[in-house]
Structure 1
Amino acid sequence: MKLSKGEKVANGTIYTSLTILAFLTLYPFWNTLVISFNDGLNTTLGGITFWPRKFTIENYKAVLNDAMFIKALIVTIGRTVIGTFMAMFFTSIYAYGLSKKYLKGKKIYMIFSVITMYFSGGLIPIYLLIRSLGMINSYAALVVPSLVGVYNMIILRTFFMGIPEEIEESAKLDGCNHIRTFFSIILPISGPAMATISLFTAVYFWNEWFTAGIYINDAAKLPIQNYLMNVMNSSNYAEQMAKLTGGIGKFTISTVTSRSLQAATIMVATLPIVMVYPFVQKYFVKGVLVGSVKG
C-alpha cells in the first residue's frame, strides 16, 4: 500500500522516537556490561562508552571468589524458586475461589483484598507480627509475607471467570470435586496466565530487597540484592575484596576498582533473571492478550 507524505512523516517520527527510547533504555545496561569487562584502573580514566578499552575478566573473578556473594546468590535462587511456587499455589487457589458466582461473601472477600492494595497495617505492626510468628532472621521471612499478591490474584480471577462453565459441569458429571477439577482441568488450560503471573512473581522475589533489610540480621542469609546494595554503598569495596580473597593471588587493586567490581556484581545479579524471559516469552505474550478478544 502506497503511503501518503503525511503517513511517511508520521511513521518516521514514530520509528525515530522508538529508536531513541530503546537506546536510552538499553545503553545504561550495555555501558555497565562494558565497564564490567574493562580494567578497573583504566576505567577511572573515563571515556568508556560502547566497547572495553582494556578487556579483562578479573572483575568477574573477584566477584565469584567472594564467598558472601555465592551465599547471597544461593539464597536468592532458593527464595525465587520456592517463593514463586508457593505464591502461585496460594494465589491461584484464592483467585479460583473468588471467580465463582455462588461463593458466599464473595464481595466482602474482594473488598478486603482490594483494601490491602491501598492501605497497610504499617511497618511497625507488620514487624511485630513477623516477630511474634518467630520469623525474624529466618528464610521464612523472605517468602511468607509475599505469598499472595492481590493484583496477581485479580488477573488470575479474571482469567478463571472467562473459562466456560460447561467445562467444570462436565467434570462434575464425571465425578470430579472442586479440588480435582482445579488441578486436573483448570490449571492445565491456564498455562499462559499462570506463566505470566509466575514471571511477575519470580522477578519480584529476585529483585525485592526491603523485606530482607528489615527482617534479616545475619549477613549470610541476605539475598543478592541486599548484597548488591552493600556493594554500591561501599566506597572501599575493592580493598575489602582484596583482603577477603588474598590480594595478589587472586587479583590486585591495580586491576580492579570499586566501580568495576560494582559493575560486575550488577551484571551477575541481573543476568540470571533476564535469561528467564526468552523461555517464557511465548506464554507471556499469550497471557497478556488472554481475554482481550471475546467471541
Structure 2
Amino acid sequence: MKIKSSVGDRVFNIVNVTLMIIICFLTLYPVWYIIVYSFNEGKDAMLGGIYFWPRKFTLDNYKTVFSNSDITTAFMVTVARTVITTTLHVFFTSMVAYAFLRKELMGRKIYMAMGTVTLFFGGGLIPYFLLIKSLGLYNTFWVYVIPGMFNFYNLIIFQAFFRELPIELEESAKIDGANDFVIFTRIILPLSTPVLATIALFVGVYNWNDYFMGVIFINNPKLQPIQTFLYKVIAQVTSNQMLAYAPGGIATRNVTSQSLKMATMVITTMPIVCVYPFLQKYFVKGLLIGAIKG
C-alpha cells in the first residue's frame, strides 16, 4: 500500500532539494569559472561578461604555461613526491600500527603514550626547521619524503581497522610457519584495501596540494613542487615572466597574466581530481567501517 506524503513533507523535500542545488552551484561554479576563463583569450576575458562558457576559445594559455620548463619540472617533482611519499607512508605507518597491536612488543604502552602526546602538542616551526637542517634534509627532495613517512593519527585509524580482522587468520598462518612480516604483507595488507585506499587518498591529496614545504625548506627552484610554483605565480611576478616563454606572437595577442594564473590553477588541480573517482568506492567503504566498527 502506497502511503501518500503530506503537504508538509512535500514542502520540506522541495526546500531541501532547492537548498542542495544552491549549495552545489555555489561550490562548483568557482571551479567551472576558472576552467572557462583558462580556455578563453586573455585579452577578451579582461572585458568581462564570461560566465558559463568561453567566448573566444583558445589553447594559447596552456601552450604558454607548458612552454615554461619550470612548471614541467615542478609538475614532475610533485608527481614523484606524491607517489613516493604516499606509498612509503601507507606501508610504513600500517606496519608500525600492526606492530603496536602485538601484545608481546616491549614498551608498547609507552610508545602509544608518546605518540598520543604529539597529537596535541608540537615543537613549533623553528625547532622543526632546525631539526630538518641538522638531518641534512634542507633543500633536498627527501625533505618531502622522510618526514611524511609516518603519522600517528593515521596509525590509530589503521589499528582500528586491523582489530576487526579475524585473529584466526594469523593463528593459522603461524601454524604454517609464517613470521609476522609474512603475515602482515600477505594476509593483513590484502585484506585492508579500504583503509589503505582511504589513507592513501588523504596523504596523496595533502602531498599534491602542499606548498608550504617548498616555501620553507626548498631553496632550489628545480626542487619546488607545482603548488609552490602556483603560489609564486599568484603572489609574485612569475606570471609576467612566463609571458616571455610564450610561443611567437601569443603573448601580445591573447595571453595575459590573469589567464595564465587560471590555466596554471587548472593544471595543478585536475590530476588529483581525476584520481579521486577511482578511489572513491574504497574511500567510502573505509570510512563506513571506521564509523561502524571503530
The TM tier, using the shorter chain, reads over 0.9
Match of 2:268 in 1: 269
Tell whether 2:151 aligns with 1:149: yes
Q: Unaligned regions of 5+ residues in structure 2, if any? A: none
Given that 2:161 and 2:195 are in contact with CA atoms closer than 8 Å, whether structure 1 keeps it comes out as: yes
Tell me the secondary structure at the aligned position of residue 145 of structure 1.
helix
**Number of corresponding residues:** 291
Which residue is 1:192 aligned to?
194
Alignment of 1:174-213 (within 5 A): 174-213=176-215
Instruction: Tell me the TM-score normalized by structure 1.
Output: 0.94
Aligned to 1:241: 242
In the alignment, the residues of structure 2 paired with residue 163 and residue 270 of structure 1 have an alpha-carbon distance, to the nearest angstrom, of 36
The 5-angstrom pairing of residues 28-43 of structure 1 reads 28-43=30-45
Check whether the contact 1:162–1:291 (CA below 8 A) recurs between aligned residues: no
| 8 Å contact from structure 1 (residues 212, 222) kept in 2 | yes
Q: Which letter maps to 2:11?
A: V
| SS of residue in 2 equivalent to 1:203 | helix
1:83 to 82, 85, 105: 85
Give 2:4's aligned residue. Answer: 2
Alignment root-mean-square deviation, CA: 1.6
Aligned counterpart, 2:282? 283
Question: Which digits, 9 at most, give the CA deviation of each residue in 1:102-144, with x for residues without a partner?
Answer: 4443332222212212211121111111111111110001111
Partner of 1:115: 117
Alignment-mate amino acid for residue 11 of structure 1: N
Preserved contact between residue 60 and residue 264 of structure 1 (Cα < 8 Å): yes
Describe the shift of the 1:112–1:53 C-alpha distance in structure 2 as closer, same or farther (beyond 3 A): same
Task: Decide which of 75, 94, 97 is 2:96's aligned counterpart.
Answer: 94
Q: Which one-letter code corresponds to 2:99 in the other structure?
A: G
Identity over aligned residues, as a percent? 48
CA distance in 2, matches of 1:16, 1:99: 48
Q: Residue 241 of structure 1: CA displacement?
A: 1.8
The equivalent residue for 1:134 is 136
Q: What's the CA shift for 1:174?
A: 1.1
Change (3 A) 1:180 1:232: same
Counterpart of 1:156, as a letter, is F
In 2, Cα distance between the equivalents of 1:293 and 1:119? 29
Q: Which residue of 2 aligns with 1:16?
A: 18
TM-score (structure 2 length as normaliser) = 0.94
Gaps of 5+ in 1: none
Please state how far the C-alpha of 1:101 moved relative to its aligned partner: 4.2
For the residues of structure 1 that align with 2:223 and 2:289, how far apart are their CA atoms? Answer: 39
Write out per-residue CA displacement over residues 164-197 of structure 1, whole angstroms, 9 at most, x where no aligned residue.
Answer: 2111111111111111100010000001110111
Distance 1:108 1:155, change over 3 A: same
Q: Is the 8 A contact 2:232 2:238 kept in 1?
A: no
CA distance in 2, matches of 1:253, 1:108: 65
